[in-house]
Amino acid sequence: MSKIEIIRGDDITLNMTFTNDDGSALNLTGSTVFFTVTADNTKANDNNAIITKDISVHTTPLGGLTTIQLSDTETSVAVGDYKYDFQLRDSGNKIKSTRTGTFSVLQDTTKRII
């Protein structure tokens, strides 16, 4: 389990590399990556998620790399600690959770308007 920290209202990029059990890059061709952030991870579905992203076009599919872009609007959520996970639906339609952790949204200091 690992922690992701962001500043509320910032644009962020999350890079995730998927590997096979032997450490080699997992081919993401035909796969979808689901990224979900929720305050309540006891629910059976994502209806209460505060952030959801479905990525099917990957940065380097043969190298197992995908990129998740979160906009300032998507990260403008209440300050606090949430739970997140990455799930992978492979080309055979099998789902595997690959990474989970804490998603901490920190208070922004200023809101500069240009």
Question: What does the pLDDT look like over 49-80, one tens digit per residue?
Answer: 999 999 999 999 999 999 999 999 999 999 99
Task: Give the pair of three-digit tokens for residue 75.
Answer: 């990260």
Say if pTM beats, i.e. exceeds, 0.85.
yes
- What is the spatial distance between Cα 72 and Cα 21, in angstroms, rounded to a whole number? 35
What is the rounded average pLDDT of the residues 36-57?
84
Phi and psi of 9, rounded to 5°? 85, 5
When comparing pLDDT for 39 and 55, which is higher?
55
- What is the spatial distance between Cα 70 and Cα 35, in angstroms, rounded to a whole number? 11
For domain 2-105, say whether CATH 3.30.590.20 is its number: no
Domain ranges within the chain, ordered by starting residue: 2-105
